Amino acid sequence: MAQVLPAERDLRRVIGDGDAIPDRKVEGLTDHDLVELYRSLILLRTYDERSVVYHSQGRIGTYAIYWNHEAMQAGSVYALDEDDWIFPSYRESAIGLLRGMAPATILSWWRGHPSGWWNPADYNLASICVPIATHVPHAAGLAWGKRLRGEKACAIAYFGDGATSEGAFHEGANFAAVMRAPLVLFCNNNGWAISTPVEDQTRAETLADKAVGYGMPGLRVDGTDVLAVFEATREAVERARAGEGPTFIEAVSYRAAPHATADDPKAYIDLARVEQEKRKECVGRFEGYLRRAGILTDEMAASTRAEAEQAMRDGIAAAEAEPPADVALVFENAFVDPPASFAEDLAELKRVLGE
Ligand SMILES: Cc1ncc(C[n+]2csc(CCOP(=O)(O)OP(=O)(O)O)c2C)c(N)n1
Ligand SMILES: [Mg+2]
C-alpha cells in the first residue's frame, strides 16, 4: 500500500516576487527548458486572447476563456512524455497546441465544425470534455490499461474545483487509487464554478484534503507559478511510473476572466480582487523570473509573441477556409439505427438553411 502523505498545506512556489521572496531553481531544468516553457505560455496566451477577439467578431462560438490558467497547463504538460495521455476539460481546450496540434483544429472545434475533431491516438490527447468530471473515470481506465499492459505511460486529467463535487470525480479517483492506476488528477482551483465560489463547494479546508480519503498524496501548488506546477507534476508522474498510483494536485489561482464569453461575472465576482490578480498573472510572473535570471530579452519576448500571433492568423484563416459542414453528420452519428423522424428533421433543417 502506498504511503499517504498529508496534503501540503501551503502553496508550493518557485518564482519569487523580485523583492523579499527569492526565486528558486528547479533541479534538472536547463535554460533551454525555461525558454521552451516560455514559448508554451506565450502560445497559449496568444491563442486565448485572439479567441476572445474572434468570438466578438462572430468567427468562433461561445468560448471558455483560460486567461491566467496557462501556467497550470504549460507547466504540467512539460512534465509529461509524448506517450502520456492528456484528458482536458473545456478550460484546457487549446492544450493540444503543446503537442503540435494546429490552432485551426481547435478553432474549428469552437466553430462547431467537424474538422475540429481529431483522433485521440494521434496526439495521445482525449476529446475536450464539456460535461463536468465525466472524463476522470475515462482517464483512470486508460491509466489502468497502461499498467495492465506493463507500459510506462501515465495519464493526466484536468478538471476544476467544481468538478470535485461531481460523482464521476469521486468514482474515478477511487478507482485509480484502488487499481494503483498511473494517473495525475490535476485540479484547477480557480475559485469559481461559474458563479459558485469554492467556499460554497465544500466544507473541506482544502481540495487536496480529498486525496487523503482515497489513499493518495495531495499536493497544493500556486497555479500561477509555471515552475512550481512543473515540479509538482513531475513528482506525480514519477510516482505514477514507479507503480505507486495516482496523485492529486490542487493548483490554486483566481479566475481573472469571465467563465466564458457568455458570462458576465460583474453580477457575482469581487472586481477589486480580479484587478489585484491580473497584476500578478502567470505570464508576467514568469517573464519577471526569466529577466532576473538574464534569460529573456525584449527581442526574444517580441519575436516569441510575433510567432504566436502569426500562428493564430494562419489558424483562423485555415479554419474559415474549411467548406461548410454537412449537416447530415449531426443525424448520422447519433444512433446506429436512427429514429424514422430524423429524415424529416434533416429535411426541415436543410429547408431552414436554404440548402
Ligand atoms: C455534468 C455537468 N453539470 C453542469 C454543467 C454546467 N457547467 C458548465 S461549467 C460549470 C462549472 C464548473 O466549474 P469548475 O469545475 O470549477 O471548472 P472551471 O469552469 O472553473 O474551470 C458547470 C456547472 C456541465 N457542463 N456538466
Ligand atoms: Mg473553477
Supply the pTM of this predicted model: 0.96
Q: Name the maximum alpha-carbon separation found in the chain.
A: 70
**Is there a catalytic annotation at residue 292?**
no
Model pLDDT for residues 16-52, shown as the tens digit of each residue: 999 999 999 999 999 999 999 999 999 999 999 999 9
350 and 263 within one domain: no
Average confidence (pLDDT) over 76-81? 98
Is residue 98 lining ligand 1, measured as CB closer than 6 Å? Answer: no
Q: pLDDT class for 355, splitting at 50, 70, 90?
A: confident
pLDDT digits (tens, 9 = 90+) for 298-318: 999 999 999 999 999 999 999
Q: What is the CA radius of gyration of the chain?
A: 21
Band (5; pLDDT cuts 50, 70, 90): low
Q: What is the mean pLDDT of residues 257-272?
A: 96
Average of pLDDT values for 330-335? 86
Q: Do 157 and 246 share a structural domain?
A: yes
Determine the residue type at 302.
A
Q: Is 183 in the pocket of ligand 1 (CB under 6 A)?
A: no
Q: How far is the CA of 117 from the centre of ligand 2 (A)?
A: 25
Is residue 265 domain-shared with residue 350, that is, in the same domain? no
Ligand 1 centre distance from Cα of residue 160 (Å)? 8
Q: Is-catalytic flag, 170?
A: no
- The residue behind cell 517580441 is 302
Label residue 334 by pLDDT band (50, 70, 90).
confident
Q: Is 157 domain-assigned?
A: yes
pLDDT at residue 195, rounded to an integer = 98
Is 192's C-beta closer than 6 angstroms to any atom of ligand 1?
yes
Residue 5 lies in a domain: no
Percentage of the chain with pLDDT > 70? Answer: 98
pLDDT tens string 177-207 = 999 999 999 999 999 999 999 999 999 999 9
User: Containing H/E element for 192?
Assistant: strand 192-193
State the Cα–Cα distance between residues 260 and 254, nearest whole angstrom: 15
Q: DSSP states of 100-156 as a string? A: T--HHHHHHHHTT-GGG---HHHHTBPPPB-STTTHHHHHHHHHHHHHHTT----EE
Report CA(82)–ligand 1 centroid distance (Å). 28
- Ligand 1 pocket test, candidate residues 158, 194, 210, most atoms within 8 A of CB: 194
Considering the domain boundaries, does residue 183 fall inside one? yes
The one catalytic residue in 259, 273, 292, 305 is: 259
- 131 in ligand 1 pocket by Cβ < 6 Å? yes
Share of the chain above pLDDT 90, in %: 94
Q: Does residue 188's CB lie within 6 angstroms of at least one atom of ligand 1?
A: yes
Please indicate whether residue 163, judged by its CB atom, sits closer than 6 Å to ligand 1: yes
CA–centroid distance, 35 to ligand 1, in Å, is: 33
Q: What is the pLDDT of residues 163-180, one digit of tens each?
A: 999 999 999 999 999 999
Q: Is residue 6 part of a domain?
A: no
Cell of 75: 507547466
| Domain annotation covers residue 290 | yes
Question: Which SS3 state, helix, strand or coil, does residue 12 take?
Answer: strand
- Regarding whether 45 and 176 lie in a shared domain, the answer is yes
Give, using CA atoms, the residue closest to atom 12 of ligand 1.
193
Residues sharing a CB contact under 8 Å with residue 281, sequence separation 6 or more, in sequence order? 67, 68, 224, 256
Q: Read out DSSP for 280-308?
A: T-HHHHHHHHHHHTT---HHHHHHHHHHH
Domain that residue 335 falls in: 326-355
Q: 176 burial class (0-12, 13-18, 19+ CB within 10 angstroms)?
A: buried
Chain segment 91-128, per-residue pLDDT in tens = 999 999 999 999 999 999 999 999 999 999 999 999 99
One domain, residues 132 and 254: yes
The yes-or-no answer on residue 135 being catalytic is no
Sheet bearing 183-189, strands edge to edge: 85-87, 155-160, 183-189, 247-252, 218-222
122 shares a domain with 84: yes
Distance of CA 344 to the CA centre of its chain: 40
pLDDT band of 259, cuts 50, 70, 90: very high
Number of domains in the chain: 2
Catalytic residue among 111, 220, 255, 285: 255
